[in-house]
Structure 1
């Protein structure tokens, strides 16, 4: 499937879009758009892919995305079984930086917001009190009229710019590779790996996605990502493994297989090569950091 450029429709009386989606399941494909996006998932569960980040989302999650970051959200299988009691509900804001003009964002009072928007290209999760405050503003913003809409949007951006606990999603390497490339083949490879990383992926199958020979494909991946295909694939798997280690629901052996590794020992080796830590140490550190944030 080709990466889809989503056109964000606007009413002529508004400079940015605020909407509430209530659907049987999420239907947007692998896509990108030039707008910033804030998503508050009131009710829904599934898998989130932002660039090279593969994660889970659930009720009351909040995500902020910079412009042109490829992303997709897919519900759990139960949402596709036509259960009338199961709905996906989300509040979404789309806006372009241009709505503020150069003069407004050039004001020294808005330096933090300007910097925040510039660094949001990786996308991130919003948590804690920042999320709680933004949810209350979202409730007002959707019904607001006139200048109040802009004021409320600036309040949200101010909260985000002051938050120190955001969790970034896509890697810096991913963002850099897409800054210098609009190559559809690379988009297709990211999408293919994101969907099949839990399975066995051989070089020949991946090369077919890019419509290249195996030799040409290896050269292509190395040029675009500065990694071999094996390194590229393992990095995406380990990024997902780190999320599962923090979640704490699966054993390390279960995580290894869940992430597409064919043995726990190989997973442990690759994880340490990539992070400098064993999976067990990474889990203990994550638990310690979580307790510190709770008591802070």
Structure 2
């Protein structure tokens, strides 16, 4: 994994990377960057290898190989890896960061007006499915190997490709519009998110997470709801359901009940109710739909 000096969470806000207009970070290792974080730069990420989920604001959804994510400045986010019993669970992701503020004069050129619109007027973070994104994969893989004009040419080709695919971009509304995090709040949220992802299989009480961030249960519930627009129980259930979906889609369990118990639900009835609330279909229907897709 490259550039470890940039992998430390600095008060929840990632600093600008060097003096260049564009910064490329290529992560190859056992897991994605493990902190729920935000930064002032626009981020474009190509997942070369590794499946899992992305948490963006209060949105939780799957992420998979060959998908591209366009993440707006200051949208808090976290990629985390799918659990797997296979021997090779490594990940590979290429990130491109750039400051819209710093590049404003550059994008004023008439030739770049369409691209400027894509980045400066984007209403929410977006993603591009693997079916469309794979056409630009080789360019992303070369980004960290190029310098100077060659690097700029590759970046412009990515921008133009995304412009051409603009109608195919899928909105990832974070649910945190105009909500500002102070750095100390971000560190608390990060601790809670990491704890929930690492311990979702067991019973987690409000008292557990409140103690983790040195708050009373009542104060923590108000704090979490205000900054994520959902309760901690709802957030935890979404993590559990997302993990259950991964188990069911990849046929890593023998039954729906087994998926429920592996993901922290004490009864199948409770699991079915929460699953339907999160996914808007029953577990049985979900499995049937994905069996047809495969």
1:280 corresponds to 2:284: yes
Is contact 1:55–1:243 with CA below 8 Å preserved after alignment?
A: no
How many Å apart are 1:155 and its aligned residue?
Answer: 2.3
Q: Tell me the SS of whatever aligns to 1:97.
A: coil
TM (normalized to structure 2)? Answer: 0.71
Is contact 2:45–2:95 with CA below 8 Å preserved after alignment?
A: yes
How many Å apart are 1:204 and its aligned residue?
Answer: 0.7
| Structure 1 residues 238 and 125, CA gap change in structure 2 (3 angstroms) | farther
Matches of residues 37-56 of structure 1 in structure 2 within 5 Å?
37-43=43-49, 45=50, 47-51=52-56, 52=58
| Structure 1 residues 106 and 279, CA gap change in structure 2 (3 angstroms) | farther
Is contact 1:116–1:160 with CA below 8 Å preserved after alignment?
A: no
How many Å apart are 1:97 and its aligned residue?
Answer: 2.1
Is contact 1:26–1:75 with CA below 8 Å preserved after alignment?
A: no
Is contact 1:66–1:117 with CA below 8 Å preserved after alignment?
A: no
1:221 to 219, 224, 244: 224
Q: Tell me the SS of whatever aligns to 2:265.
A: coil
1:270 corresponds to 2:277: no
Q: Tell me the SS of whatever aligns to 2:181.
A: coil
Bigger drift between 261-270 and 141-150 goes to 141-150
How many Å apart are 1:220 and its aligned residue?
Answer: 2.8
Residue matched to 2:103:
100
Q: Tell me the SS of whatever aligns to 1:98.
A: coil
| Structure 1 residues 18 and 235, CA gap change in structure 2 (3 angstroms) | closer
Give the structure with the larger helix fraction: 1
Q: Tell me the SS of whatever aligns to 2:44.
A: strand
| Structure 1 residues 259 and 94, CA gap change in structure 2 (3 angstroms) | same
Matches of residues 107-122 of structure 1 in structure 2 within 5 Å?
110-111=113-114, 114-115=117-118, 118-119=121-122, 121-122=124-125
1:7 corresponds to 2:53: no
| Structure 1 residues 265 and 151, CA gap change in structure 2 (3 angstroms) | same
How many Å apart are 1:286 and its aligned residue?
Answer: 4.4
Partners of 1:156 and 1:191 in 2: how far apart?
32
Partners of 1:144 and 1:2 in 2: how far apart?
28
| Structure 1 residues 105 and 199, CA gap change in structure 2 (3 angstroms) | farther
Bigger drift between 134-143 and 56-65 goes to 56-65
Is contact 2:44–2:96 with CA below 8 Å preserved after alignment?
A: yes
Q: Which runs of 5+ in 2 are unaligned?
A: 1-8
1:188 corresponds to 2:194: no
Is contact 2:67–2:134 with CA below 8 Å preserved after alignment?
A: no
Is contact 1:49–1:194 with CA below 8 Å preserved after alignment?
A: no
**TM-align CA RMSD:** 4.1
| Structure 1 residues 7 and 78, CA gap change in structure 2 (3 angstroms) | farther
- Deviation string 1:66-114 (CA, Å, 9 cap, x unpaired) is 33323254697999xxx9x997554332222234315726859644663
Q: Tell me the SS of whatever aligns to 1:18.
A: strand
Q: Tell me the SS of whatever aligns to 1:215.
A: helix
Q: Tell me the SS of whatever aligns to 1:50.
A: strand
- Residues matched between the structures, number: 278
How many Å apart are 1:196 and its aligned residue?
Answer: 2.2
How many Å apart are 1:193 and its aligned residue?
Answer: 2.1
1:35 to 32, 41, 52: 41
- Deviation string 1:185-217 (CA, Å, 9 cap, x unpaired) is 334333332332232111110211232212222
Q: Which runs of 5+ in 1 are unaligned?
A: 292-296
Is contact 2:45–2:96 with CA below 8 Å preserved after alignment?
A: yes
